[in-house]
Structure 1
């Protein structure tokens, strides 16, 4: 029987790939979202350890990369590509400082025996822009790092071959990736900033009977949308995300709260640091 890796965005999360922020502190200039702040490496490590423990204590196996001192954004494991049922899609970073991550993560995926089913090379594609709306529908954001050429490459390689519908989601918002303004936290439930997303995409979600937990625009770069669904009505969030956490609980979602604040200076959150390897 063929292996099934990641079926969709809300099935039970079994295994993830992460990278400790050992060298994140070395990058004291512009972070992922243009922030400028010195990173407290000790606090970053503490926060990352707490997130890893939150996963493990909820039955998620965590595979850790060996950090490279030259790859200061490697902690954001989400972005090198995307995993689907048949294997993974290898992305193509838009900015030069992240290009070295591609080789490191590709090597790791070979070690884990997860096949590469598509490769972006002419255009650009980063995993923070990728979502599965259901088992056969992909939504890929076009914000700052992914472009239409990259999406077309993916569509040609896996669309008809595996029967996936691939939807482009364009937004002019100053977020690097779609996961900063849109996040599927449970089946048919999304944490979302509607005002920065196109009506066409919002109508697609409404037609599919999605319900929305709204986040204000001013909270986007504070990572209020940047959560991680575990499946089984559980979500990992951060302690200071009070309004969203309260709304999640009103829908019957169990919220696992972690302390994440220092990593935000580097420009990413919980979802950015987590690459699903197995979700079925």
Structure 2
């Protein structure tokens, strides 16, 4: 394990070639389920639906009317849920030219070594990377490195447990290309992390639509659409799976956020997962987010962990 380090000067590349990059001692997360202390969210002010995924295309095709006032109210409810759970909330500065900036998961990835700045697939989202760099500079969080090979988005970086990450890619017709995924995978492997690469159908957008960690050795997984090889890999680690039905998964019902200490933030529409987790003794925060999720992203898509307790 690398020694922790205090970084006093903002850096665009904290990564050490060949690995051995020191871990940060004030920021970072080694898991996606340790107690969440600080989170980065995107602004809602300029949000509107665009044809970014199969879900948003269906929403627009069916003539559903977007109500920005409702979306803003639902976003406030989500922020309130985080604050009620004792989580410090940071937000990107809003940019009127970036309507999908609310999905803070995609433009960066937080690691124990600093933030990875990604390379967005859709041209109307690429400016989100610049706003993300500004946010990390303002907070004093160094950049681990920047994706420069192909495209890669944060929803395809899925920490399963400390030292182990599931990285998805969908090819040139999707959001993350194999080349970008392999660049990030190489960095993590050099740091001593295990990497599982998963090619998924572009229909599912990102790997975190179908696989999300809930707690130590517990994951929400849509068995109907997740490659059996990934399921077997998870089970091989002793991870228990809570199955989420396909219909709810496609409405972002599996795209949830572990808050730590057997607490989970999920959308009100995730009824099956909510019932299963309550039976397991979890505390549930379930804001109504339908006006946002119909645009193609859920609560996991809307957040980036900045600080989680070690597990």
Answer yes or no: same fold by TM over 0.5.
Answer: yes
Structure 1 unaligned blocks of 5 or more: none
Structure 1 stretches of 4+ moved >4 Å: none
Q: 1:15 aligns with which of 27, 33, 38?
A: 38
Question: Which deviates the most, 5-14 or 140-149?
Answer: 140-149
- Determine if the alignment matches structure 1 residue 140 to structure 2 residue 167: yes
Q: 1:38 deviation in Å?
A: 3.5
Q: 1:6 aligns with which of 17, 21, 29?
A: 29
Q: CA deviation digits over 1:142-183, x for unaligned, max 9?
A: 2331121112211333421x2112211122261111111111
More helix by share: 1
Shift in alpha-carbon separation, 1:241–1:83, aligned structure 2, 3 A: same
CA contact (8 A) 1:18 1:64 kept: yes
CA contact (8 A) 1:119 1:154 kept: no
CA contact (8 A) 2:254 2:270 kept: no
> Counterparts in 2 of 1:34-113, with a 5 A limit?
34=57, 35-36=59-60, 37-113=64-140
Secondary structure class of the residue paired with 2:281:
coil
RMSD: 1.5
Q: 2:265 aligns with which of 232, 236, 245?
A: 236
1:30 maps to: 51
C-alpha distance in structure 2 between counterparts of 1:141 and 1:187, whole Å: 21
C-alpha distance in structure 2 between counterparts of 1:67 and 1:39, whole Å: 19
Q: CA deviation digits over 1:10-45, x for unaligned, max 9?
A: 1110101112211113x4x42444331442110110
Q: 1:256 deviation in Å?
A: 1.3
Secondary structure class of the residue paired with 2:95:
coil
CA contact (8 A) 1:117 1:158 kept: no
Shift in alpha-carbon separation, 1:31–1:123, aligned structure 2, 3 A: closer
The normalised TM-score by structure 1 is 0.94
Structure 2 unaligned blocks of 5 or more: 6-23
C-alpha distance in structure 1 between counterparts of 2:308 and 2:211, whole Å: 19
Secondary structure class of the residue paired with 2:145:
strand
The normalised TM-score by structure 2 is 0.85
CA contact (8 A) 1:124 1:145 kept: yes
